Amino acid sequence: MTGPGGYAAEPGGPAPQPRHAAPSPTGSYRPPPLPAGEPMAMSISRPDPPQPSESARSGRHAAGGPSALRLIWIYPDLLSTYGDRGNLLMLQRRARLRGLAVDPIELNSDQPVPQQGDIYLLGGGEDLPQILAAQRLRADGGLIAVAARGAVIFAVCAGYQLLGTVFGGVQGEEVAGLGVLDLRSGRGERRGVGEVVADVDPALGVDRLTGFENHQGVTTLGSAARPLAQVVLGVGNGDGTEGAYAGHVLGSYLHGPALVRNPGLADLLLTWAVGPLPPLADAAESWTRQLRQERLAATSS
């Protein structure tokens, strides 16, 4: 498993310019039965420091242009616990405060994953919905494909686990994940419930994280994934680290919602999608700063 050292500095990216947006997914779709044999999975290689996404490199989503930043919330009918929809709302708000057009799309589990999204979000869920979500996403193949082309993916708790190669089922049995992140999750002996504080990998340039966890997972990272953070308070992955990332794919056990409590993490995802962002005015940041101060004060007492 990757250790906490060896972080590389994150490079910058060019300023965004517009592009045309693809239409939102419509209609109904029933995934075909899972194929026999090995599950679909990306080939995993050793991680490099995150680079600007295809959207940022080609200069897309400029304010006032015909483009819109497409935020895809995957399977809210299966994966949406502890207010994880707030992650979608936070990205939407912080993009619009910077003059970016935003197209939020809520994608239910009977619809195919669109290939033209910019940021894909997965939330938490119970065991059976998590298993069903993994089966449908493997059969569909869309999320695996967009990860391979460098799209930004942010996943929480159950969504984080299913991005790995294996996670624990209802009775602790192994269930095949998507293989998008080089990690394996199983069931631990103790349940992690409560506040989490964690210091982020310095390469990402994000302030200390706070959040709420409620899981019994133990996650082990392979050599092609890096820990998102080092735990100061709480359980996280179960080995002193919290979350994982590789390229533009990032997962965490944190609810809260995570991006509401950690606006720097939201801005990191937006930067990966569109390039460097201008700072927000103090008035627009006052409520996020107040929430952060409250949660950090509560965990330090």
Domains of the chain: residue spans and CATH = 54-300 (3.40.50.880)
Find the catalytic residue in 20, 61, 157, 215.
157
Whether 189 and 215 have beta carbons less than 8 Å apart is answered as: no
Per-residue pLDDT band at 216 (split at 50, 70, 90): very high
Output the pLDDT for position 54: 52
Distances (CA, A) of 82 to 90, 136, 146, 256, 272: 15, 23, 26, 7, 26
What are the C-alpha distances in Å from 69 to residues 60, 72, 150, 188, 274? 8, 10, 15, 38, 8
Cα angle at 154 between 151 and 156, to 5 degrees? 155
Would you list the DSSP string of 211-269? EEEEEEEEEEE-TT-EEEEEEEES-TTTTSEEEEEETTEEEES-BS-HHHH-HHHHHHH
Report the percentage of the chain scoring pLDDT > 90.
71
Note if 20 is an active site residue: no
Residue 67, pLDDT score? 84
In 3D space, the residue among 255, 272, 196 whose CA is nearest the CA of residue 230 turns out to be 196
Q: Mean of the per-residue pLDDT values for the chain?
A: 84
Which pLDDT score is estimated for 208? 97
pLDDT value of residue 6: 35
> What is the per-residue pLDDT for 14?
38
| Res. 35: pLDDT tops 60 | no
Active site (annotated) includes residue 248: no
pLDDT for residue 298 is more than 80: yes
Q: What band does 139 get if pLDDT is binned at 50, 70 and 90? A: very high
Among 61, 215, 248, 255, which one carries the catalytic annotation? 255
pLDDT exceeds cutoff 90 at 148: yes
Task: Write phi, then psi, for 293 (nearest 5 degrees).
Answer: -60, -40
Radius of gyration of the chain measured on its C-alpha atoms: 18
**What are the distances in angstroms from CA 125 to CA 111, 158, 215?**
18, 6, 10
Report which listed range, 26-35, 149-158, 286-295, is most confident: 149-158
- Lowest-confidence range among 44-53, 86-95, 243-252? 44-53
Q: What is the helix (H) or strand (E) element at residue 202, kind and residue range?
A: none
pLDDT at residue number 301: 61
| pLDDT tier for residue 190 given thresholds of 50, 70 and 90 | confident
Residue-wise pLDDT tens digits, 230-261: 999 999 999 999 999 999 999 999 999 999 99
Alpha carbons 283 and 287: distance in angstroms, whole number = 8
Phi-psi domain of 247 (left: phi exceeds 0; alpha: psi -120 through 50; beta: other): left
